[in-house]
Amino acid sequence: MMQERMSGAEIVLKALVDQGVEVVFGYPGGAVLPLYDAIFKQNHIRHILTRHEQAAVHAAEGYARSTGKVGVVLVTSGPGSTNAVTGLLDALLDSVPLVCLSGQVPTQLIGTDAFQEADTTGITRPCTKHNYLVKDVELLAGVMHEAFYVARTGRPGPVVVDLPKNVQVAEGPYVQAHQVKHKSYRPPVKGDAAAIEKAVDLIASAKRPVFYCGGGVVNSGPAACAALTELVRATGYPITLTLQGIGAFPGSDPQFLGMLGMHGTYEANLAMHGCDVMVAIGARFDDRVTGNVAGFAPGAEIIHVDVDAASINKNVRVDIPIIGDAGSVIADMLAAWKAKKCKPDGEALARWWRQIETWRARKCLAYAPSEAVIKPQFAIERLYAAAKDRDTYITTEVGQHQMWAAQFYRQEEPLHWMTSGGLGTMGYGFPAAIGVQLAHPDSLVACIAGEASFMMNMQEIATAAQYRLPVKVFILNNGYMGMVRQWQELLHGSRYSESHSEALPDIPKLADAFGITGMVVDRPADLDAAIARMIETPGAVLVDVRVDPAENCFPMIPSGATHDNMLLGELVGSRGPTVTEAGKGLV
């Protein structure tokens, strides 16, 4: 059979269509002009022009996270690809499937310091799951399909395909995705049956169990989350979720202890500390979760399910490792639980829940209400009250507001919560919301932001305006980089070095300048009306919520401390431990 031949740019576009891509986020430039010309000539793929390549990647992340599909980015060579680097690393650390196509100077100019040349594969090697420099158009179609396969399977992540301009122009063959088989990459799916059986026996014998689950369950898909929910309910055991795991289990279920970790709940962290069996699924024991690993869950036998073998025994030694896809392993666990007719130790479990309820009774998230000034926690509670009965997607920026959102905005289902956890990228939330809104045009998409984070990618107001995307940016404006300010208060004698947000824009005027709506609210009594107006106003809306500048985010496990050493808010109890000298050196 004669193979179809077409230009490299057409091969790329055809591969995108065959991979089910509908939207590409990008920014044109000299080295990708043939690709942009191919985009101009077709109607299958919609291109969304962001105003910065970093924002294009975050928008693709939002799109991917809220759909479970691979997000696609298109950037030019040199500054186009270097601008994308932050987004790529963000996607790598949070396991978001992306394919980033980058232009490159023609192959004959590579290595000559040509105009807008960058060693893109070299620069992005540690920021991607994998990357390719395609020097031969004959291989292009195969690489495109392979890139999507690598991005979405196993532990998902970003893949860069660097495309020299002459390769985009040259003619080559097109191959279908099913004709491509990777030589070495074999992502694990099924977990080891014997290990799963052993794990289920251990789970059934537990006296003080806890499920600790993360983004791996969300990434595995809604079916995995449903299976997790069934397993957790079948056992009756408590469950805590990581920042990325939020939504994997219903947030209003009484078995849910809230998020764990540095700003996790008192009950979640103490359950982790006191448990005898920990069932970790799709979570990677990062330092924000474990605190001081030397004193982490001292009495626990740990089961760890992860699709990434390198995440097992990395920070914490575990007893039963299971390498496999979360959804597959949970389904097998559930089947084994039923087949063995497992029954939890009812007496021990009741005792454990009584203990947990005494921790819960401390109401660790309590804050001092105020009629004079808007408390940031209150603002999120009111937003939640107004939005919870709609189909709502929440993105966040990074900082105090992010942690309050994780604590106070309960998520009932997966794929509705988008936040930058691993890299902690300020400027993530607003462009991510744009990507989410494109995927879900009729849903309410709100970005819970801080004023400092918002300013890091606020040029994207133009993108929201251009495509008439009704994203709602709910800016908790405390006039500080709040988390920096909090650490400076707690660790550095309240010397607020460079953390004050000076020269903030007038938000309504800023919105007006771009043709969208802006508003200010500074009294608690006006908050509900402002939120209602934000939701009802068509198009994008920026809300400047003036909140208490002195509010700190508690509970807090100080750096270097263990889960049983939490700082609590003034209302809740003692201020707890102070940070040790060693702790000050930690991040």
Partner 1 sequence: MQTVTTQTEAIETHTIAVLVDNEAGVLGRVIGLFSGRGYNIESLTVSEVDHHERLSRINIVTTGTPMVIEQIKAQLGRLVPVHRVRDLTSEGPSVQRELALVKVVSTGERRVESLRVADIFRARVVDSTNESFVFEIVGKTGKLDAFIRLMEPLGLIDVSRTGVAAIARGTDSL
Interface with partner 1: number of residues (CB under 8 A): 33
Nearest to partner 1 of 130, 363 (CB atom)? 130
Nearest to partner 1 of 2, 587 (CB atom)? 587
C-alpha to C-alpha distances, 503 to 95, 275, 499, 506, 522, nearest whole angstrom:
36, 49, 13, 9, 18
Residue 483 appears among annotated catalytic residues: yes
Which of the residues 115, 179, 338, 357 is marked catalytic? 115
Which of the residues 14, 69, 129, 165 is marked catalytic? 165
Among the listed ranges 2-10, 49-57, 271-279, 313-321, the one in contact with partner 1 (CB under 8 A) is 313-321
Nearest to partner 1 of 125, 340 (CB atom)? 125
Which residues in 273-292 contact partner 1 (CB under 8 A)? 287, 290-292
Q: Dig out the tokens for 91 from the structure.
A: 């996607």
C-alpha to C-alpha distances, 219 to 36, 214, 409, 459, nearest whole angstrom:
31, 9, 20, 30
C-alpha–C-alpha distance, residues 178 and 174, integer Å: 12
Which of the residues 418, 426, 481, 483 is marked catalytic? 483
Which of the residues 6, 22, 116, 117 is marked catalytic? 116
Helices 400-408/376-387 angle, 10° precision: 50
C-alpha–C-alpha distance, residues 73 and 119, integer Å: 18
Nearest to partner 1 of 219, 478 (CB atom)? 219
Which residues in 511-540 contact partner 1 (CB under 8 A)? none
Give least dist CB 365 to partner 1, A. Answer: 25
List 4, 5, 108, 126, residue binding partner 1 (CB under 8 A): 126
Residue 53 appears among annotated catalytic residues: yes
Q: Dig out the tokens for 230 from the structure.
A: 């069934």
List 17, 193, 293, 385, residue binding partner 1 (CB under 8 A): 293
At 63, phi and psi to the nearest 5? Answer: -60, -45
List 18, 197, 230, 308, residue binding partner 1 (CB under 8 A): 308
List 205, 315, 355, 580, residue binding partner 1 (CB under 8 A): 315
Give least dist CB 402 to partner 1, A. Answer: 20
Task: Answer yes or no: are the C-beta atoms of 446 and 472 closer than 8 Å.
Answer: yes
- E strand or H helix that includes residue 48: strand 46-49
Task: Answer yes or no: are the C-beta atoms of 303 and 327 closer than 8 Å.
Answer: no
Task: Answer yes or no: are the C-beta atoms of 490 and 560 closer than 8 Å.
Answer: no
Binding mask 173-212 for partner 1 (x = CB under 8 A): ---------xxxx---------------------------
The strand order across the sheet containing 71-75 reads 46-49, 23-26, 71-75, 98-104, 158-164, 130-133
List 1, 194, 503, 587, residue binding partner 1 (CB under 8 A): 587
CA 315 distance to own-chain centroid: 21
Euclidean distance between the first and final Cα of the chain, in Å?
A: 60
Residue 108 as a binder of partner 1 (CB under 8 A): the answer is no
Q: Dig out the tokens for 407 from the structure.
A: 């604590």
List 189, 504, 520, 586, residue binding partner 1 (CB under 8 A): 586
List 317, 492, 523, 584, residue binding partner 1 (CB under 8 A): 317
C-alpha–C-alpha distance, residues 448 and 368, integer Å: 21
List 41, 46, 125, 584, residue binding partner 1 (CB under 8 A): 125
**DSSP readout, 191-260?**
PPHHHHHHHHHHHHT-SSEEEEE-HHHHHH-HHHHHHHHHHHHHHT--EEE-TTTTTSS-TTSTTEEEE-
Using DSSP's 3-state secondary structure scheme, residue 116 falls into coil
Task: Answer yes or no: are the C-beta atoms of 140 and 173 closer than 8 Å.
Answer: no
Give least dist CB 316 to partner 1, A. Answer: 8
Residue 437 appears among annotated catalytic residues: no
List 223, 310, 335, 350, residue binding partner 1 (CB under 8 A): 310
Give least dist CB 548 to partner 1, A. Answer: 31
List 312, 405, 423, 426, residue binding partner 1 (CB under 8 A): 312
Q: Bridge-partner residues for 61, per DSSP?
A: none
Which residues in 445-504 contact partner 1 (CB under 8 A)? none
Nearest to partner 1 of 276, 308 (CB atom)? 308
Nearest to partner 1 of 141, 446 (CB atom)? 141
Residue 116 appears among annotated catalytic residues: yes
C-alpha–C-alpha distance, residues 289 and 554, integer Å: 15
- E strand or H helix that includes residue 349: helix 346-360
Residue 165 appears among annotated catalytic residues: yes
Active site positions, annotated: 53, 115-116, 165, 483
User: Footprint of partner 1 on this chain (CB under 8 A)?
Assistant: 121-122, 125-126, 129-131, 133, 150, 154-155, 182-185, 287, 290-294, 308-310, 312-315, 317, 559-560, 586-587
